[in-house]
Amino acid sequence: MLGLREKAMDALGDKFDIREFHSAVLDYGIPPQFIVEEKTDEMIANGLADD
């Protein structure tokens, strides 16, 4: 989980929002790790697309 947070922070820089990260990975209960990774990647892509 910490590695995914760092990945998102590195990718998004100032756009990183810890609340959005928590929502992206925790809104689905306790999913398998690959789902958490997919949701983190989606959050990063959406954040970068806002440019």
pLDDT attached to residue 24: 85
pTM value? 0.74
Show the 3-state SS of 6-49. Answer: HHHHHHHHHHCCHHHHHHHHHCCCCCCHHHHHHHHHHHHHHHHH
pLDDT of residue 1: 84
Quote the pLDDT of residue 51: 62
pLDDT tens-digit series, residues 1-51: 899 999 999 999 999 999 999 988 888 788 888 998 999 999 999 999 976
What's the pLDDT score for residue 38? 92
The single-letter code of the amino acid at 17 is D
Residues 6+ apart with CB under 8 A from 23: none
CB-based contact 25:1 (threshold 8 Å): yes
Q: How far apart, in Å, do the first and last CA atoms of the chain sit?
A: 26
